[in-house]
Structure 1
Amino acid sequence: MAGKPLKIYIMAGQSNMVGTGGIATFGHIGADPETAPLLKKMLGPDGKPKICDRVWISSLNGKMNQYGGEGFGRLTAGYGVRREDPAKPDDFIGPEYLFGITMEESYDGPILIIKTAWGGQNLSVDYRSPGSGPYVLNDQQVEMYTERGKLDQIRTQRTEATGRNYRYMVDHVRKVLADINRVYPDYDPEAGYELSGFVWFQGWNDFVDTATYPDSLGENQYDEYGQLLAQFIRDVRQDLNAPELPFVVGVIGVYGNYTPGTFRIVNQSDRRMKLFRKAMAAPAEMEEFKGSVVAVQTAPFREDALGFIEQKQLKVQSLGRQLAKKHPDSANADGSMTPEQRRAYLDDYRSKLLTPEEIALWDRATSIGGFVHYYGSAKFHAQAGKAFAEAFLEMEEKSSL
């Protein structure tokens, strides 16, 4: 008698789907009463990261613009960014970890996550799906690149890159589905599998691309992103022969809830971020996707406390650059300070600007990546992964009514 079917979830996007949540920051999750229960789920009886019993993963996250290596096995911590070898575990998680743990709690059958993500990729070109057609430079870009003498070069580059990561993604999913036992040894062909959901978490590279999405469009600046994402959903469903495949769109949470003093505003970036988030969430409001596409806001998971500290850290870094360049307004205007003296001066400045508590928080809560990557906080990635999973569970519950 066959057991329960294998539920398969696809997770795709750019660097924050790859994941920079440092395992070394797990303790910070437990220090917050609101997230401490998550840490209990993430750790085994031995206090080490839990290894799931019924959740496996195939994670494809090679170097930028390359198909890359595949890491696979039982889901545990370490399937985030892999700095040396994509096939070998490293010290980071992405949203996949709490996503898988949450799903395992809700389903007593087998689960497989197929994750394909690369840093620095956009939807307008790299993940552009077939139905969106070729990337076409707008008039502003044509004029700009013509003036720089790079029009033909840019057109060739965009043509070669268009859809590359979309194809990598679809090809890898098909590869895994063609031989599931290779990745999930306990797979039961008699029970079969079902494609149960797709998570999309991406956005930064499109957000900052004000050539593709020019400021001149005003309130409609990022509307095209929403259109591209809607077509992406249609094409994924068609290419994977899954016309009802549920989608969760993780809406970018950089800048959090726009708390003053927690981020720098560059070129009206706060206004643009609001427009971009609206475009990311737009497909979920389309009639054709009602009930099968949900937008999950990740802004609430970005910590303001870290944003405040970062702004102070940036002041320290700015002073360091002034001292090194003998800036006329700095203490090293005449260039007489030795490297040791400059370091001591900076350390003193930092100790006056940052409290011991802030320094301790920064050290235990952050890892790599800076504000674009939510400070490398596993707390962010854990909460996002859990929210993505809960969105699917809610969709499943509503569809069964």
Structure 2
Amino acid sequence: MRTENRTADRDDWITTPITADLLRGAIDVERTEHGVLPHRLPAWVRAQYADGQLAMAESQPSGVRLAFRTRATTVELDTLPTKRLYVGAPPRPDGRYELLVDGVLTGQGSVRGGNTLTIDMTTGSAELRTGPVGTVRFTGLPEGAGDGGKDVEIWLPHNETTELVALRTDAPVEPAPDRGRRVWLHHGSSISHGSDAAGPTTIWPALAASLGGVELINLGLGGSALLDPFTARTLRDTPADLISVKIGINVVNADVMRMRAFTPAVHGFLDTIREGHPDTPLLVVSPILCPIHEDTPGPSAPDLANMSEGQLRFVAMGDPAEKAAGKLTLRVIRDELARIVAQRAKEDPNLHHLDGLRLYGEADFAELPLPDQLHPDAATHRRIGERFAEQVFSAEGAFATRDA
């Protein structure tokens, strides 16, 4: 099987409108000039708080995929991506599209062209330049067994805003049926969003979901896991069988609150989720190891010294002595989250806690260090995803399948 970035000269192909019933993992779908744009936060949130970082993160379709059933052997998808360029840094690789047939990775490809968002990290400014629609093409797909064809998923780039323009196939397409799998709704930071994972199916939540046999809705939002009330209301209002929230790193590295605000904010966040999901298994995950913030408060800032060589690193800017005044570190947050969950679990038996160090700790850092001191690489995403599945979806885990 191969992938190409070109459009086939075929007049007899079928163009299927891209509608919400073909999409999984999206919270909202916006009609645009070119087609549709999947969102991971609803329109009322985007209107309520029009922050540039949040807008970029929630419009990047981490965990979002087209899901359909077909006998097609060739599939073309036209999209308008928005690619990021950082002033002074080498170009980033194009976002990756990954196609699965009956759950098996069968093809990968990228779309060239598209819009370009140029970001200056020294000033925080950003400039958007428009570009052309491109095409990713998957060929040589198996027809599938029997008359029903096969289940096909196209996972969209987790780190590249993607407008969906057209879907073309050489056989009819219908929405994939509901296979009865449980829906897992997850919220976290850029680490959950996908940071430096190799592709959309290998971000750690996608790996864990595959191993756990569940359908993923990923609200990992780069730089934006800040206990925002609108995120809690989105979690509250989204149907799900399982919910997890990974809290901590953004609260520290954005330096947004001290202990006096943090504890009530966590309680309020969980209270809001419980308004819509009173009995749903709810897992609170504390931060994985991040040595620069274990004992040093935020904020963190980019060290741009080696940016031109593609070696972006982050440093902690806080003073460890400020912990006495209530400033937060990752050790402090882990202890407080464990205490909060233990307190609430006395009346909420479906509330659970997972120490993030069980996913990635000191021994892991020695073997697989964080390349920029903040984000895991592709191998570490795999390790975190596998460990999460082992600990959470196992027979004794928080998300184990329970007998009715």
Which structure has the larger Rg over C-alpha atoms?
Answer: 1
Give the structure-2-normalised TM-score.
0.42
Q: TM-score, normalised by structure 1?
A: 0.42
Q: Which has the higher strand share?
A: 2
Kindly indicate whether structure 1 or structure 2 has the higher relative contact order, using CA contacts under 8 Å at least 6 residues apart: 1
Determine which structure has the larger helix proportion and give its number.
1
